[in-house]
Amino acid sequence: MLQTKRRCYNECTTGTRQVDEQNGTATIHPLDEPNNKQSVSISSLIEQ
């Protein structure tokens, strides 16, 4: 599922590319570095 919402992770605003609800993870990136992707737990993200 492609997400376009902004979320906060480690006090940084991020863009979310993909959410895997089955595994409880999301692929995120800093807004100014769209190629710097990382996988994080959905529970560590804060909706903005």
pLDDT in tens, 21-47: 999 999 988 888 889 999 999 998 887
**Cα–Cα distance for residue pair 25/18, rounded to 1 Å:** 9
- Band (pLDDT 50/70/90 cuts) for residue 18 is confident
Q: Which pLDDT band, with edges at 50, 70 and 90, does 14 fall under?
A: confident
Give the list of residues 6+ apart from residue 19 with CB closer than 8 angstroms, or none.
1, 3, 25, 26, 27, 42
16 pLDDT above the threshold of 60? yes
* pLDDT at 8 > cutoff 60: yes
What are the residues whose beta carbons fall under 8 Å from the beta carbon of 33, sequence distance 6 or more? none
